[in-house]
């Protein structure tokens, strides 16, 4: 089975208007209506190769980390409904950079951390980067949560466990997404989720876990809601039950 995602995923165009208003004319509002429409506003802010070069440490940010090829870029593109957003972090030279995105306000940020285990990076660079990553996770005041991206077929690698330990020590909320869950049928996917939760418990690691697929959209809405909670994003009104971002 191929890993490739189709490139022609349709983008949803969500209007930021209040259609429930009593007036015949919809009222324009600055508050997004749904988690999906809020995340759709994501824009590239800046890149930095070091912890020191990060933008001012104010507001709130959620960082995405994970092993290279786990599906981190696809997940960021999927939840923001932008095919190219996380592309910046894929271009040579930017692979080892911390990439920042905002959702209309600079005090709410998503951060794309470099994928670890990237084959083309020399060992010395990997060690330098590991130190930068540790500094970032421990010292960054605006970092309120970590989303750790794991390929559902290879969850909890040694480095994943190390990341979770750092995050737990730093008392950082952590949410794990098990990507490419479309590779499993429904029951085996659920079993895998339970087993991963049990392994984490046995290792004394505290975090929430969910299944995710950038291919068929499973878990997209759950992750979008999780991000609104982490970044304390007020929404105009609740999404209808079972709403799923495409």
Enumerate binding residues for ligand GDP (CB under 6 A): 3-5, 66, 68-74, 115, 179-180, 182-183, 213-215
Q: How far is the CB of 98 from ligand GDP (least distance, A)?
A: 14
How large is the angle between the packed helices 158-169 and 123-139, nearest 10 degrees? 30
Q: Say if CB 184 and CB 216 are below 8 A apart.
A: no
Q: Say if CB 243 and CB 46 are below 8 A apart.
A: no
Task: Output 49 or 59, the one with its CB closest to ligand GDP.
Answer: 49
Task: Output 83 or 183, the one with its CB closest to ligand GDP.
Answer: 183
Task: Output 119 or 127, the one with its CB closest to ligand GDP.
Answer: 119
Which helix or strand (DSSP H or E) is residue 182 part of?
Answer: none
Q: Say if CB 67 and CB 156 are below 8 A apart.
A: no
Question: CA-CA distance, 69 to 12, in Å (whole number)?
Answer: 26
Q: How far is the CB of 174 from ligand GDP (least distance, A)?
A: 17
| The two three-digit tokens of residue 165, written as one number | 């330990």
Q: How far is the CB of 213 from ligand GDP (least distance, A)?
A: 4
Task: Output 37 or 74, the one with its CB closest to ligand GDP.
Answer: 74
Q: How far is the CB of 50 from ligand GDP (least distance, A)?
A: 21
Q: How far is the CB of 84 from ligand GDP (least distance, A)?
A: 12
Backbone angles phi, psi at 218, to 5 degrees: -60, 130
How large is the angle between the packed helices 220-230 and 72-80, nearest 10 degrees? 80
Strands (DSSP E) contained in the chain are 17-18, 27-28, 43-48, 60-66, 98-102, 108-112, 143-151, 173-179, 208-211
Task: Output 61 or 112, the one with its CB closest to ligand GDP.
Answer: 112
Task: Output 16 or 113, the one with its CB closest to ligand GDP.
Answer: 113
Antiparallel, parallel or unpaired: β 60-66 and 143-151: parallel
Q: How far is the CB of 17 from ligand GDP (least distance, A)?
A: 32
The structure tokens 């029951």 sit at: 187
């Amino acid at each position: 089975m191929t890993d490739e995602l189709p490139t022609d995923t349709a983008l949803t165009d969500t209007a930021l208007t209040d259609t429930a208003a009593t007036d015949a004319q919809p009222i324009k509002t600055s508050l997004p209506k749904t988690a999906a429409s809020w995340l759709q506003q994501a824009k590239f802010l800046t890149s930095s190769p070091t912890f020191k070069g990060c933008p001012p440490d104010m507001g709130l940010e959620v960082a995405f980390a994970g092993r290279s090829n786990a599906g981190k870029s696809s997940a960021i593109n999927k939840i923001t409904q932008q095919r190219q957003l996380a592309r910046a972090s894929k271009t040579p030279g930017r692979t080892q950079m911390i990439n920042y995105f905002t959702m209309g306000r600079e005090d709410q940020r998503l951060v794309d951390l470099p994928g670890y285990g990237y084959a083309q990076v020399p060992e010395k660079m990997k060690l330098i980067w590991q130190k930068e990553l540790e500094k970032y996770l421990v010292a960054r005041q605006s970092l309120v949560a970590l989303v750790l991206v794991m390929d559902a077929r290879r969850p909890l690698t040694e480095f994943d466990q190390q990341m979770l330990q750092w995050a737990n020590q730093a008392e950082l909320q952590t949410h794990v997404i098990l990507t490419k869950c479309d590779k499993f049928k429904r029951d085996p996917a659920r079993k895998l989720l339970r087993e991963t939760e049990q392994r984490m418990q046995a290792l004394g690691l505290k975090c929430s876990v969910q299944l995710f697929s950038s291919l068929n959209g499973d878990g997209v809405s759950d992750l979008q809601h999780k991000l609104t909670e982490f970044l304390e994003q007020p929404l105009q009104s609740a999404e209808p039950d079972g709403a799923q971002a495409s």
